[in-house]
Structure 1
Amino acid sequence: MVERKAVGSRDLSNAWPAMSIVQAHAALTAPGAPFEMETLDIRGVPTRTWKNAPPTLAHVFAAGRAHDDKVFLVHDDERVTFEAFGRATLALAARLRADGIVKGDRVAVVMRNLPEWPVAFFAAALCGAIVTPLNAWWTGGELEYGLVDSGAKLLIVDAERLARLTEHLPATAIEHVYVARAVDEYSEPFANPLIVRLEGIIGAPMSWADLPAGELPPVDLVPEDDATIFYTSGTTGKPKGALGTHRNIVSNIMASAISAARTYLRRGEMPSVPDPAAPQKATLLSVPFFHATGCHAVMSPSLFAGAKLVMMKKWDAERAMALIERERVTGCGGVPTIAWQIIEHSARANYDLSSLESVSYGGAPSAPELVRQIKANFPKSQPGNGWGMTETSATFTHHMGEDYEHRPDSCGPPVPVCDLKVVDASGNALPPGEIGELWGKGPNVVKGYWNKPEASAETFTDGWVHTGDLARLDEEGFCFILDRAKDMLIRGGENIYCVEVENALYEHDAVMDAAIVARPHKSLGEEPAAVVTLSPGATATADELRAFVASRLAAFKVPVEVRFWDGPLPRNANGKIVKTELRDLFKAA
């Protein structure tokens, strides 16, 4: 029995829920409805799809241009309209084609959140290239791996990443490099004729409106064409490139919209009709574009719907509140730490945050208490979360409003075009309430891993992705993720596969045994901690080992704490380290 609550001025004490999830989805996806579905054969698998979704990223781009002089991108004092963005994108696409980029080529994008990032992404996509965003926090060696593994032909990079990558470029297949926001200390690489300033092609963001209107590249695109490679960490320590199609990506555009409509029906109300005269929606972007969430679940839907994206160079809670006030931001979130830091900030009362309509997040464990705090501190805002992974092109389940308040420990039900099942070790589906591995199927599940057929065969079966998450489903289909079958932790939305960090520790001469476990963290969810046994007679300090890992891996993977263990680490009969015992070391941290 769920707690009955009043919503707004309407007493729902005897009405919640007014409609079941099945009934709500049936009403919203009925023939002729905006969210109508159809079943198509995709790579031999019958798959439900959104009938009215834009077919490709080119259609998303075209829809964005219709928003004309509305502001699309905000970065510090830079403001870029939808039309200016469109002109810059087409100018860059023309240069990409002039430099030999054809359909199927890989174009890597390596930069922090800047207005140039979505321009680079859509310019490459319009050319039919497979856009390959790489994690801007990676080290030079990690970035080299991504460029080599993808076989990227052209690199669009910001100056900071170029400095990190310059010595690694000779090992790659990169033929051209476009550098955004290069400053004097990065002038030396321009002696290489293959490295040019991006500003020399499209100018600075504030001048994009003065570019010619441009024309779409004459490239035929269809929904099943390859569109992106997003890298996800692998259990072997080497990232795997998830190969996504145009259909995978555009499925997100309908996924979040239907969740809001479902909430109305669950209340017994009709979904609101969009008002063209209403104030523009605006999102404070606190997740990177190089994540599937930032790219697929935020950037593309915002472009399609005419919403404003407000970027920050670096997360700062007070700066975020100032931007929410200045830009009348309607949605923020990203990962739970964002919400916690705003809620608990001592200066929160100094800012007008009344424009917020939603505070939603995903990508990291979150406490039910956070749901209650959002409702208490932002009464006009709906809390929301969801679940997805790189292999599902972001959104797979979505959870918001009263449903989230009633089931704060769930990540919600799957969106209507998607299916979830919980299976046993043999792949047999289990009944509601039983715990097993979570599998998902839908039009957003990627084709597989780039050039890794064995890994693809292990992870994808007849359209189903094996998530590695241990979960249960209730009678209504709400998903409850309980643990991860893969040895992975999530720090503020960043996946960290423990074996990768353990392998880095093992490279140190003094380390004989090592294990990475999750140390609980209130806002980040969890963070990596290490337990290490040193070789007999060897010495090393915790700071030394942390610095050693930092020289090899991105900063977010570096253990926040190192504890030393006397003797070999505890193992079970199969020789695997018993991490449950090691996690107890950090429970009080």
Structure 2
Amino acid sequence: MTEFVSPAGPAPHIPDYLTLPQFMLDSVHPSRPVRREGIPWLIEDATGRKIGFEEIRSRVFGLANALSLKWNIREDEVVCIFSPNHVDYPTVIWATHRLGAIVTAANPAYSADELFYQLETTKSVNIFVHPAFLPAALAAAQKAGIPTERVIPLDDIPGSQHGQIAPTVHELIAYGLSHPAHFVERHLQPGEAKTKLAFLSFSSGTTGKPKAVSISHYAPIANVIQMAVFHKVNEDYTTWENKRFRVGDIASAVLPFFHIYGLVVNMSFLLYSGLTLVVIPKFEHTKFLESIVKYRITHLSVVPPQVVLLCKHPATRNYDLSHIRFLMCGAAPLSPELTTQLIKVIPNAEIGQGYGMTETCTTVSMWPISQRIGTFGSAGQLMPGNKARVVKEDGTLAKVGEQGELVVTGPSMALQYANNKEATLETFIDGWVRTGDEVIINENNDLFIVDRLKEIMKVRGFQVSPAELEGHLLEHADVADVCVVPVHDDYSGEVPLAFVVLHANAAKRAASSSAEADNLKADIVKAGIPEIHHVADHKVHYKRLAGGVEFIDVIPKNPSGKLLRRLHDVSKLHKQLKSSAELQGSHFAHCAQLTRMVRRIASQVHKQASRLLQAGYLKQKPAWYSAVLENPPLPLPARAPPPRTAYDAPAARSAAKKEPEPRPLPIIYLEDEVRRQFFRDHPFETFRPVTLTEDAGVEAEHPINGLKWMRLRQRGRNPTPEDAIRFTVNLHEHHRLPLTEAYSTAIGQFRALRSEQHIATTFAAQEAEAYGAAFGPSSTMQSFMQEEKVLAAKRLKSEQMDEGELVARKRWHAIVESSGPKGEWSRGEEYVRLWKEGVRPDYSPALTEPMLSLEQTETSDVEFQIAKP
């Protein structure tokens, strides 16, 4: 079984007896840094108002007490927040949790119908609303049966409407603080936080309308601690200036708090890490840039459309963004090309991506602190304690580098879909969550999102369900059938496109003229008649049909009636539809194209059914089997054969290769590699003289190790080469610096200390000589004098050599002392290479007498033999 685990290690200790406000406001944890006094928690963007810890804690109690006094909100009741980002958003959440109640947050851009659906699904009893969105809230509340006096505005409301609804949050807090405590906050039993509900957050899951995801108190607490440990927020892994998250840094809170990304990552994790949040209600690019510069924001959490504006909007060039140190992109994949542009815009920032879902209570993976810029196209590495499986289409588990659906588990997973057993069984399986995303995990544990299996599109980071839009479009009088699919958009990532089958009368009108067809499309996108259900007036802005409407004759479906969205390239088909719209009879061309596509799909299905029948997995033929056999579909295009198979290979190549005998791997010590490089860069350190006094031994190793060893300089100790080598290894292993950076840091400090030692020694000698002290040659000068004596003796000996010996000596001197071109053998390496090849210098004396000829030699031997007695 291939199961991927986090390279960051197992899950840290997570308390399972705390609610979220108890964790954020009342407790401490080893992973949490201490926030210095005076550092605010929140800053209101529009006014600059700062709110600190004591004020937040007091406001939470006051609001909880008022809610208990006025409406007696009890445990497990649901309170809805219908507002953009607001400085009192955390106050409302934590006050509700103090009472044991549950929070559901709604998108303030929802229409009254969409808000009513969420109120009805969650059975909410109170609504906290921003005054700008009060009309939609009142209409939805009336439809859901919520009394008007339970609709609570976050700010003052101008006009006479104020008296008809509940007091504002500020008035409720004052009321609660002026009365004694009316509630007793319950402390959970060990393990109870894992099942005690905190949020009902909405997600589209893998298909269908948005569903309420049940999230316990334990889940966001676990994810916050996972991220804190992953980023070493409370560890001294490097200098304070280079830490990714520092107490007192300023972060933007422009991502909506109703989204799980803004709720857990921004509101919970960044506040937990000691950062200050600048609460920005709405994203407007120019105002966003002004806020970044005004408050010197250092940390940004954004989505791809905002990155597009940062890179391509001309206003960006007018602002100094050099103080930004961190940017994380989530909610949708970020292309490598856009990442490259972003690096140029904010060159001083660490940039990367994260991946998560509402069902996983946010972060599944992020890029590690060892990477300043995350791997291009990667969503990072798993959080500590998370495990992942990649399931292929055939149900087997994929290995490293293989593609399949991501299934994850960990301490932060949600519990279920509330009141939706069928969807829960489809997504939540024995503690594991099916993400519906196709991924690849490589050998470096980097996670890459490849494709989306679930029928959900991501528009500007928001989930949009095609089924929801299709159900709405089917209510239009002229629509007989519809299929909504995503098409690519440079800014939004994806936008909805609707393929519509018209009723007979509407189809005749559309065929009569192109102007009539255009009017029908406009009528579907945004009708002028109030009683007709249409998308633009009944759906939030990002759910509108920005991809347009196309008319076709038939929607491709499988035998069970399910729409076949993924069996064709929608973008390509869309382009073909647009280009062919100018041709006469384009309507019938579309129909023919779809017919060909359906027949090819039928060919695939029929072949698969035949295989299943032959294998015995199908007991009887499907009802459509004979009909397809009698009317054979179009064959799929033949694939080209591979250029060469194993049977085509020559016999010598196809023969089994003899496996080499196994050999033990060489043992490699990192210290040896560093030591080799050190003495290559500092050869003089090998011969540095060391003075030993009587009874002195070898100096002990450096007494400090691990994370405490932050610098090479130590009191009363001159660093040795071994100290520098061990310091390099220590920086690499314990401080997680890359080896090259650790080596350069250690060598820089070593050389600085050596220089200081040399200057101090020189000045001490000069000062002693000024007072009359007489010194003999230093050890270094003695070495130079000895070297000169040896060289002089060598020169004298060379003068006594004969001519042949001098020629050979000069040849080898030329090899050793000449500096060759770059990239070729160095002088010493050339000498060693020649020596290993058996080429030796010949220092024998040159012959001064002429050599005898061969005949003379043979004659001499004969004469010698004859003359021999």
Given the two structures, how large is their TM-score scaled by the length of structure 2? Answer: 0.57
Q: Decide whether the 8 Å contact of 1:358 with 1:381 is kept in 2.
A: yes
Shift of 1:461: 0.9
Q: Out of 562, 565, 578, which is 2:551 matched to?
A: 565
The structure where strand makes up a greater share of residues is 1
Structure 1: runs of 5 or more not aligned: 1-20, 30-35, 39-49
Residues 400 and 522 of structure 1, relative CA distance in 2, 3 Å threshold: farther
CA contact (8 A) 2:212 2:418 kept: yes
Q: Deviation at 1:54?
A: 7.2
Q: What amino acid does structure 2 have at the position aligned with 1:191?
A: Q
Distance 2:186 2:36 in 1: 23
Q: Does 1:108 align with 2:72?
A: no
The partner residue of 2:49 within 39, 55, 79 is 79
Q: Taking structure 1 as reference, are residues 585 and 314 closer, same or farther at Cα in structure 2, changes over 3 Å only?
A: farther
Map 1:217-232 → 2, pairs under 5 A: 217-221=184-188, 222-224=192-194, 225-232=196-203
Q: Which residue of 2 aligns with 1:151?
A: 123
Alpha-carbon distance in structure 2 between the residues aligned to 1:454 and 1:341: 40
Q: Which residue of 2 aligns with 1:546?
A: 525
Matched, 1:58 2:58: no
Counterpart check, 1:304 vs 2:248: no
**Cα deviation 1:163-183 (Å, max 9, x = unaligned):** 102233234364622112242
Give the alignment of 1:126-145 within 5 angstroms.
126-145=98-117
User: Shift of residue 318 of structure 1?
Assistant: 1.8
- The answer to whether the aligner puts 1:290 opposite 2:264 as a matched pair is no
Secondary structure at the counterpart of residue 496 of structure 2 = strand
Contact 1:69–1:81 (8 Å) recurs in 2: no
Q: Map 1:178-327; keep pairs closer than 5 Å.
A: 178-184=152-158, 187-188=160-161, 190-191=163-164, 195-202=166-173, 217-221=184-188, 222-224=192-194, 225-233=196-204, 237-261=208-232, 270-272=237-239, 280-327=248-295
Deviations 1:518-548 (A, max 9, x none): 2212232222222223222215533321221
Higher relative contact order (CA 8 A, sep 6+): 1
1-structure distance, mates of 2:94, 2:487: 39
Q: Distance between the aligned counterparts of 1:68 and 1:94, measured in 2? A: 27
TM-align CA RMSD: 3.3
Matches within 5 A, 1:432-447: 432-447=400-415
Q: Pick the aligned partner of 1:423 from 391, 399, 403.
A: 391
Q: Tell which deviates more after alignment, 387-396 or 211-220.
A: 211-220
Asked whether the 8 Å contact 1:72–1:79 carries over to 2, the reply is: no
Deviations, residues 372-413 of structure 1 (Å, cap 9, x unaligned): 222222221010211101001111111256748463122122
- Partners of 2:172 and 2:374 in 1: CA distance: 52
| Range 500-509 or range 311-320, more displaced | 311-320
Aligned to 2:564: 577
One-letter amino acid of the structure 1 residue matched with residue 570 of structure 2? L
From 407, 410, 413, give the equivalent of 2:375: 407
1:37 partner SS: coil
Per-residue CA deviation, residues 315-345 of structure 1 (Å, 9 max, x unaligned), is 1222111111111111113201212212223
CA distance, structure 2, for counterparts of residue 129 and residue 398 of structure 1: 31
Deviation digits for residues 144-187 of structure 1 (CA, Å, limit 9, x no counterpart): 111111111222112233310223323436462211224235x4
SS of equivalent residue, structure 1 residue 196: coil
Count residues with an aligned counterpart.
Answer: 537
Change (3 A) 1:173 1:426: farther
Pick aligned residue for 1:37 from 8, 12, 26? 12
Paired with 2:488 and 2:46, the residues of 1 have a C-alpha distance of 34
Q: Give the structure 1 partner of residue 634 of structure 2.
A: none
Kept after mapping to 1: 8 A contact 2:485/2:565: no
Q: Conserved in 2, the CA contact under 8 Å of 1:280 and 1:307?
A: yes
What secondary structure is seen at the aligned counterpart in 2 of 1:146? helix
- CA gap 1:531/1:306 in 2 versus in 1, 3 angstroms: same
Structure 1: which amino acid aligns with 2:572? D
Helix, strand or coil at the partner of 1:77: coil
Q: Is 570-579 or 90-99 further displaced after alignment?
A: 570-579
Correspondence 1:91 to 2:74: no
Structure 1 residue matching 2:50: 3-state secondary structure? strand
Q: Which moved more, 1:289-298 or 1:163-172?
A: 163-172
Distance 2:178 2:545 in 1: 47
Q: Which amino acid aligns with 1:472?
A: I
Cα distance change on mapping 1:308 and 1:163 into 2, 3 Å: same
Give secondary structure in 1 for the equivalent of 2:226.
Answer: helix
In terms of Rg, which structure is larger? 2
* TM-score (normalised: structure 1): 0.83
* Partners of 2:109 and 2:138 in 1: CA distance: 16
Partner of 1:467: 435
CA deviations on 1:92-116 (whole Å, 9 max, x unpaired) are 1111222211221111111111112
Inter-partner Cα distance in structure 1 for 2:119 and 2:142: 11
Shift of 1:574: 5.7
**C-alpha distance 566-102 of structure 1, shift in aligned 2 (>3 A):** closer
Find the aligned partners of 1:104 and 1:191 in 2 and give their Cα distance.
27
Q: Does 1:118 align with 2:90?
A: yes
Q: What is the aligned partner in structure 1 of residue 8 from structure 2?
A: 25
Partner of 2:860: none
Q: Deviations over 1:479-518 (max 9, x none)?
A: 2221111111101110011111121111111112322222
Q: Which moved more, 1:224-233 or 1:401-410?
A: 401-410
Q: Residue 525 of structure 1 aligns with which residue?
A: 493
Cα deviation per residue 1:426-465 (whole Å; 9 max; x = unaligned)? 7542222222221110111111111222221221111001
How far residue 122 of structure 1 moved from its aligned partner, in angstroms, is 1.2
Percent identity between the aligned chains? Answer: 26
Taking structure 1 as reference, are residues 89 and 511 closer, same or farther at Cα in structure 2, changes over 3 Å only?
same
Question: Residues of 1 paired with 2:79 and 2:298: CA distance?
Answer: 33
- Shift of residue 132, structure 1, vs aligned partner: 1.1
Aligned equivalents of 2:550 and 2:6: distance in 1?
56
Moved more, 479-488 or 405-414: 405-414
SS at the partner of 2:505? coil
Instruction: Tell me how far apart the structure 1 counterparts of residues 520 and 275 of structure 2 sit (CA, whole Å).
Output: 50
Structure 2 residue ranges without an equivalent (≥5): 29-33, 510-518, 527-533, 579-869
Q: CA deviation at 1:25?
A: 2.0
How far did residue 261 of structure 1 move? 4.1
Structure 1 match to 2:844: none
Instruction: Give the secondary structure class of the aligned counterpart of 1:91.
Output: helix
Question: How far apart are the structure 2 equivalents of 1:490 and 1:473?
Answer: 22
Question: Larger helix proportion, structure 1 or 2?
Answer: 2
